[in-house]
Structure 1
Amino acid sequence: MNLRRLLLVGAVAFAACFAGVFLGQRVADTPNPNETELHAVLHDRITLTAAQKARIDKIEADFAVRRHALEQEMRASNIRLAKAIEAEQGYGPRVTEAIDHTHDVMGTLQKETLEHLFEMRAVLNREQAQEFDESVVKALTADAR
């Protein structure tokens, strides 16, 4: 009976680890359609001057490096969570700590993404910024509709 219980707990722990890693990869690896839409607004619908385009390209290149680092940290955080689940086989202090760290990384990514958007917005003139703002609002409320 103990072997059966151990195998069941191991299977549940493995499934939880796999689900955590899978979900984490989906969050970090999949381009956000709303973000893609915002970039389309900047590059396709708003007519940028050469100077604006050069500044925005630099801002995007700089952010791509930081975003990649945060996505790597998110993957590492998911691995820590999987190992904590495997070790504790329940919702213990290591699992709680790993979840909190994952949330911190996700929050940092969200904050830095918004800072990135505002940095790009600062390059735009008033009319361009208004169109950009409308796209941001649309992107952020798309799931609420």
Structure 2
Amino acid sequence: MKIGPVQIILLILLALGAGWIGSLGAKHWSQSGGQNSGMHSFVHEELDLDSAQQAQLEILENDFAIRRQTLELALRSSNADLAAAIEEEHQYGPKVAAAIEAVHKQMGLLQKATVEHLFAMRMLLKPGQQKAFDKRVSTSLTAGS
């Protein structure tokens, strides 16, 4: 099968679109955008943490930043593999299907790590702070639904 210039352009656009959709999904699920920083500023600025809580939270945030970066790099790599599979198969074939599953797996790992981080942060809080934190998490997760 000979591939013409129109098919090449469409293939490139499809690969770029797949990567873009994957990155949007990662941003949404990881909450690495405004929601995550909003949650952290909420904890720091509105929960009146004591100095011990602040110090523990700083450690948690530094550890999670490294973990999140690693997971986001793996997700980008999975998106690149998806683009390559699309370019190779030119259809929804076994390589594309496997690449999509790999993207979904990475997105799930990123979401799981984010939720684990939220629970680790919650454990540092006093009962009244936990109540406000829980309400904020719930509001963040259901915003726009």
Residue in 2 aligned with 1:81?
82
Q: Secondary structure at the match of 1:143?
A: coil
Q: Cα offset for 1:34?
A: 2.0
Q: Cα offset for 1:20?
A: 1.8
Match of 2:12 among 14, 30, 48: 14
Q: Cα offset for 1:26?
A: 4.3
Residue in 1 aligned with 2:63?
62
The total of aligned residue pairs comes to 142
Residue in 1 aligned with 2:100?
99
Residue in 1 aligned with 2:22?
24
TM-score by length of 1: 0.90
Structure 1 stretches of 4+ with a deviation exceeding 4 A read: 26-30
**Is contact 2:22-2:103 (8 Å) kept?**
no
Where do 5+ consecutive residues of structure 2 fail to align? Answer: none
**Is contact 1:42-1:132 (8 Å) kept?**
yes
Q: Secondary structure at the match of 2:4?
A: helix
**Is contact 1:34-1:140 (8 Å) kept?**
no
Aligned counterparts of 2:25 and 2:98: Cα–Cα separation in 1: 20
Q: Cα offset for 1:12?
A: 1.5
Tell me whether 1:40 sits opposite 2:41 in the alignment: yes
Aligned counterparts of 1:8 and 1:96: Cα–Cα separation in 2: 24
**Is contact 1:84-1:98 (8 Å) kept?**
yes
Q: Cα offset for 1:133?
A: 0.5
Q: Cα offset for 1:28?
A: 4.5
